[in-house]
Each structure stands twice: as structure tokens, then as C-alpha cells.
Amino acid sequence: MLFGYARVSTADQNPDHQIDALLQAGVEQGNIHLDTASGAKSSRPKFDLVMQLLREGDTLKVTRLDRLSRSVLHLVTLGADLRERKIGLHVIEQGIDTATAEGRAMFGMLSVLAELQRELIIANTDDGLAAARARGRVGGRRPRLTPEQATLAQELYDARIRTVQQIADLFGVPRSTVYGHLDKNTTVLREPKKRPAEA
């Protein structure tokens, strides 16, 4: 079965172009789901509904990648989840179709870029914390994360790279602070994915 997902950032934006493209791609009107939410907003009820409705052998169709994902890391995590569930992904305007070798290769490249992006952000954060400690700023924990740190915390959590405790340690805040910034709809207690042993 084909499912379509569309998103506009505000109620003033017109989703007709996306809906028309999904209809032309073979998605039935009743299987098209629309969210009105910014790309950075973690709560997208219609997207969550589509992910629950999808079954093995189904295909998810969107017009562009930026309608689907709020970050490269989230996109790669989503792509991996769809592959594990044997669900196809077709990005109409960008010609990405995981049913083809080219589409799968595209996701492979995105995965490499996401890993690099994540490692660079973590390294920069670690450097910043080390510099602060070197200057004697070690007392008193910050009660909140910056928007950039909150986004990184969500991405690390979604990708199961680090536990909540490890994320809290990374930013020097209590676990409760990290939990306060995570999307409540996806937050569950879990361990990070085991990373392959380094040679």
C-alpha cells in the first residue's frame, strides 16, 4: 500500500502542490496525511500516525526530503528504521526511491555524512567543556540546554548513540534536564546501539 506524507510550516502555507504530487504518484486521497508544523518541531502527530500505519511491503511517499525530516541525522535514522521494517521510501521531486540501487546508495551516503556531522558536533562540545574546565568554570550545573544542545540531545537519543545519562554527562547537566528537552512521545528507557569494535 502507498502512503503519502506532506508538511507545511504554518497554516498560511498551501499544501496543494504536495498533495497533487502525491496523488499523481499513485497515493489515494485517504492515505495522504498532512502536518502543520515547523521542520524543527519534534511533535508531528500525522507523521507519527503514518509510521504506525506502515506495514512490511508498504511505501512511504513524500515530495522532498525536507518535508519528511528535521535533520540529516533524523533522516538517516528514519531510513534505517524503514529498511529494517521492509518499507519503501520514494522522494518524488528528488528522484530517490529505496526500491532501486541508486536510492539505497543515496541513503548510504547520507549515513556517512550524518555520522561525520554527529562526531564533529560531539567533538566541538567536548572541546568547549574542556576549555571551560581549564578556566575553572566547573561549579554549578546549568539548569537548561541551549537550543543547539537540545537539538543534538534529541538526535543522539533518537539515533540511540548515547543513553540519557551519557548525554547528561556530555553537557554537564542532570538527567532530568535532558529528559525535559526530549520529545515525550518517543522517550523510553533504553540502551544505546552497540557500536562496531574499532580495529
Catalytic residue numbers, as ranges: 9
Determine contact, residues 117/152, Cβ cutoff 8 Å: no
* d(C-alpha 156, C-alpha 94), whole Å: 27
Compute how many other C-beta atoms are within 10 angstroms of the C-beta atom of residue 158. Answer: 19
**Strand order from edge to edge, sheet including 88-91:** 32-36, 2-8, 59-62, 88-91, 96-97
Among 130, 141, 148, smallest CA distance to 172 is for 141
Give just the sign of the alpha carbon dihedral 143, 148, 151, 157. negative
